[in-house]
Amino acid sequence: MPSLRVPPAASLAGEIMAPADKSITHRALLLAAVSDRSVRVDATLDAEDTQSTVGAVQRCGVEVSGELGGSLEVAGVGLRGLRPPPAIDCGNAGTLMRLLPALLAGQSADHCVLDGDDSLRRRPMDRVARPLRAMGAGVFTAPGGTPPLVVDCRQRLVGCRHELPVASAQVKSCLLLAGLYAEGETWVVEPAPSRDHTERLLEAAGVPLLRDGDAVGVRGPAEGLGLPDMEVPRDFSSAAPLIVAGVLRGDPAVRLPGVNLNARRTGLLAVLERMGAAVTVEDRRHLGGGGEPVGTIVARRATTLHATEIVAHEVPSLIDELPLVALLGAFAAGRTVVRGASELRVKESDRIATVVAVLRALGATIEEREDGFEVEGHPSLRGGEADAAGDHRLAMLGAVAGLASETGVVVSGFEAVGVSYPGFGRDLAALASEGAA
């Protein structure tokens, strides 16, 4: 659907199974492809981005059976068994384009060109190409450091120490994967901790991780990978819009079982707590395989929300949720400030500019800053029209705003949710319907 009108809702209620974790589905499929055994990955995410990853590993000669959204059996070909084709289409999947070059660089093949859609072609890829070249890889971008990416798969890799200027789980993951093929030790140092899904999966696959303070590394060349069968948890970033919807309109509550509670992903929960939101976590446990913590998140309507300030060291743990923080700030007493989030400018859209444009169009008082934004809270939000700008996070932001607005919101470009959460509109409508019952 090109657009969706979301009317205001007096209350929301019900239980929703959020989609499987996109980040972990990508990583599990890629590591399973180069494992020494056939790997079953349960509860995978069926979305456009993960379809791109399945297509990519199949193009590299890996047999994948089953269906996304359920269980996939990936017939691993070993660390050096990929047969990359001349070209691979990554669609809109930035994670795929940033991680796959590390695996391709370790193969004894010719070269492969990675390309994507118009949105992906605007995203910076020199942040992986440069450090890979420092290890001896032949990885080259278009002028300006953007896709397409050319990977020469015939180079010898040598480990080195990488000091990342910006915390990035995708860049860190790429370099650790490249380290599996490199002679010696490969180290990655970040200015702040980013998501550690790759590290968890590598350890589950039998790779001894090296640690020195904030640095993490691997010693190569690795002999092989023994990734076990695993289950993918529910995606916190996909659950987050429903959590925020529950904070704004949950009565009696919105429940989300099996959500990933990895501390490096759930910074939003700490922000919600200090804003005065009524959010609790029940049924905590760990999943097998990657060892991720999960639980049931319960969100109820908050009596009062208080403004807060997000600073740079918090940003990596809630980078995908910062648009939702802006929406919460529009209803919170005081001025909510987000700083140190310049990374938002190189997402699927310039998320600083687009978040400001969307919320301002809906009646919020919000100001753009170079590395974030400031939002002045009011008791209500008018509503109106929101342009998703081809960005799935903005489409979901507009829809949640519609539920909490006075007149509703028409979200243009709502089909962008297909990248990560194709059923989002349906699930949101189900919560509104049960809340009205």
- The answer on 156 and 69 residing in a single domain is yes
- The answer on 373 and 295 residing in a single domain is yes
The CA-to-CA distance between both ends of the chain, in Å, stands at 27
Q: Of 170, 193, 218, which residue sits at a domain end?
A: 218
Burial of 304 (0-12, 13-18, 19+ CB in 10 A): exposed
Tell me what pLDDT residue 166 has: 87
Instruction: For residue 325, give every residue at least 6 positions away whose Cβ sits within 8 Å of its Cβ, in sequence order, or none.
Output: 268, 271, 308, 310, 318, 336, 338
Q: Cα separation of 326 and 346, whole Å?
A: 18
Give the pair of three-digit tokens for residue 5: 């009108």
Tell me what pLDDT residue 346 has: 75
Tell me what pLDDT residue 120 has: 94
Instruction: For residue 118, give every residue at least 6 positions away whose Cβ sits within 8 Å of its Cβ, in sequence order, or none.
Output: none
- Structural domain contains residue 226: no
- Structural domain contains residue 227: no
- The answer on 250 and 123 residing in a single domain is no
Residue reference for tokens 């180079």: 155
Tell me what pLDDT residue 437 has: 65
| Pairing assessment for the beta strands 3-6 and 12-15 based on DSSP bridges | unpaired
Q: Which helix (H) or strand (E) holds 309?
A: strand 309-310
Tell me what pLDDT residue 192 has: 87
Q: Tell me the catalytic residues.
A: 320
- The answer on 392 and 258 residing in a single domain is yes
Taking the mean position of all CA atoms in its chain, how far away is CA 262? 13
Strands (E), 116-249: 138-140, 149-152, 161-163, 184-189, 210-212, 215-220, 230-231
Q: Into how many domains does the chain fold?
A: 2
Q: Cα separation of 101 and 273, whole Å?
A: 39
- Structural domain contains residue 285: yes
- Structural domain contains residue 389: yes
For the chain, 437 residues long, give each residue's pLDDT as a single digit of tens. 589 999 999 999 999 999 999 999 999 999 999 999 999 999 999 999 999 999 999 999 999 999 999 999 999 999 999 999 999 999 999 999 999 999 999 897 788 999 999 989 999 999 999 999 999 999 999 999 999 999 998 789 999 999 999 889 999 999 999 999 999 999 999 998 899 999 999 999 999 999 998 899 999 999 999 999 999 999 999 999 999 999 999 999 999 999 999 999 999 999 999 999 999 999 999 987 778 999 999 999 999 999 999 999 999 899 999 999 999 999 999 999 999 998 888 777 899 999 999 999 999 999 999 999 999 999 999 999 999 999 999 999 999 999 999 999 999 999 999 888 999 999 999 999 998 76
- The answer on 242 and 179 residing in a single domain is no
- Structural domain contains residue 359: yes
Total residues found in the chain within this entry: 437
Based on its alpha-carbon atoms, the radius of gyration of the chain, rounded to whole angstroms, reads: 21
